[in-house]
Structure 1
Amino acid sequence: MTALALLVLISAFLGASDASWCICRSELNSSALQKTLDYACGAGAECSPIHQNGACYNPNTVLAHCSYAANSYFQRKGQATGSCDFSGTATVTTTDPSYSGCSYPSTASSAAANGTSTPGSATFNSAVGPATSTDGSGAGGLPVAGTATLCLAIILPALVLSRLS
Structure 2
Amino acid sequence: MSIMLMKILLSLIFLLSVLQNSDGQFEDYCVADEQTPDDQMVGAMNWACDNGANCSAIQENQACYLPNTLKDHASYAFNSYYQNMKHNGASCYFNSAAILSGLNPSHDSCKFEYIP
What's the CA shift string for 1:136-161, capped at 9, x where partnerless?
xxxxxxxxxxxxxxxxxxxxxxxxxx
Q: Does 2:81 correspond to 1:60?
A: no
1:76 corresponding residue in structure 2: 84
Any residues of structure 2 matched to 1:16-165 within 5 Å, and which? 17-78=25-86, 83-107=91-115
CA distance in structure 2 between the partners assigned to 1:57 and 1:63 by the alignment: 11
Contact 2:58 2:76 in 1 (8 A): yes
- With normalisation by structure 1, the TM-score equals 0.54
CA distance in structure 2 between the partners assigned to 1:87 and 1:28 by the alignment: 10
The one-letter code matched in structure 1 to 2:66 is N
CA distance in structure 1 between the partners assigned to 2:70 and 2:85 by the alignment: 22
CA distance in structure 2 between the partners assigned to 1:20 and 1:59 by the alignment: 22
Structure 1 outlier segments of 4+, above 2 Å: 78-82
Instruction: Output the aligned Cα RMSD.
Output: 2.1
What's the CA shift string for 1:38-63, capped at 9, x where partnerless?
00000010100000111000111111
Larger Rg belongs to: 2
- Closer/same/farther in 2, CA of residues 21 and 79 from structure 1, 3 Å limit: farther
Q: How many residues align?
A: 97
User: Secondary structure at 1:97's aligned position in 2?
Assistant: coil
Gaps of 5+ in 1: 1-11, 109-165
Gaps of 5+ in 2: 1-20
